Structure 1
Amino acid sequence: MVVDALASQFGASWVSEKRWDCALAKFGGGWLLKPLTYMNLSGEAVSAVSRFYKIEPGEVLAVYDDVDLPLGSLRIRQKGSAGGHNGVRSLISHLGGEDFPRLKVGIAPEGGRPAGDRMVGHVLGRFTEGERPALAQVLDRASDAVRTALRSGIANAMNIFNRKEQSNNETTEKP
């Protein structure tokens, strides 16, 4: 959803690339990519496109859902482990290490991380009507975070977006 929003904001169109099993959208500052594989194989497309266009892992900004973060939260990291996320595990494996920036978009429901069989249903399911306002807000913030990272670097984006947005528009760091 985030990369679709970015493509729209950049006026970029998606093109299916069967050779890499992904959809690509070219914009002024680079490429947006959506793997068309199962999530746990997403690193294959990212690494193939990166090799073809000579993009270093540190220049890749992975955007993905995180069921350990509440819906509406963002976390930007310069590098890190997979944290149990199979898609990130695939990226690490195919990019040759953990040294690539990432934007984690929280999708956990109000009650916290779903357990057992409910996890798959939540991750692959649709957002509820009650979750839609928080979803719209986090999609806007995530798009802003990517644009900020492109414009002024990951460290600056981390300083701005790794904060919880308050109702009075002030920001405070999350514990």
Structure 2
Amino acid sequence: MRCKIIYLLAFFSLLAVSCNEMDDGSHVDPITLNEKITGEWGLMNLKMVDEVAKTNKLEPSEQVLSTLFNYDNFRIKFNVDDNMVPTSYEVTGDVPPLFALSGYWKLSSDFQQSTGEPVRIYLYSDAQKTIKTDELRLTAVPGSNEEMELQLLRTSGGIAFVSYSFKLNAIN
């Protein structure tokens, strides 16, 4: 008799626990890279890397450009529409252009790649995004520190000869 009571209590306990429904909250869309990149960014550091010298282990292979040519007032602003879809970008400041100072942009992927490959920011001269002018690599994704790194790679015959690494911080 005592054993039956224990089984009945165990059965009702399991039944009571199984009736609880988990509430995981409301569904929200995941945060995209578009949301992390949108806004205005100021230059912290700009480094030019001689990729040929670096490959051949020749020094110097890097030069800091941030303090030269007025790059200290470099700003780039990435705009999005109401649906967080990339629209235009604009570079401000009295700086020599390393890429077009204004145009349109989109990402190669809305999310970071699991392969470790950097997401590419494609730059276009037209709003339809059919005439690509350049490509930036997103080498460090903005996070809680509100910093981002972009790389502009110049190639000839498919071989990289120079790259520019922009370390940026969010301007609020």
Q: Whose helix proportion is higher, 1 or 2?
A: 1
TM tier, shorter chain? under 0.3
